[in-house]
Amino acid sequence: MCHRSGKPSAMELPPSCRAAADRMEQALKAEDAASYTTAKLSGTATDTLTNMEKQLSRELGKDIILVAYESR
């Protein structure tokens, strides 16, 4: 447990904790890859997704990319 004020970053973890965090990240990525695939969207759905990207980008002042996945 970290007793410092503020939120510590992963880079401040001891090497053993950082290694465990890296292993967990890889395991989660593998699980996600096995569970989901890129969604096959209709033209209308693609247009809707594109419009939402543009709207969010304008509202947030950032370049936003939305991605659709579907379970396998």
4-55, pLDDT tens digit by residue?
A: 455 555 556 677 788 888 888 888 888 777 788 888 999 999 999 999 999 9
Instruction: Please say whether the beta carbons of 65 and 53 come within 8 A.
Output: yes
Please say if the pLDDT value at position 2 is more than 80: no
53-68, pLDDT tens digit by residue?
A: 999 999 999 989 898 8
SS3 28: helix
Can you give the pTM of this predicted structure? 0.52
pLDDT at position 6, please?
57
Instruction: Please say whether the beta carbons of 69 and 37 come within 8 A.
Output: yes
What is the rounded CA–CA span in Å between residue 35 and residue 55?
29
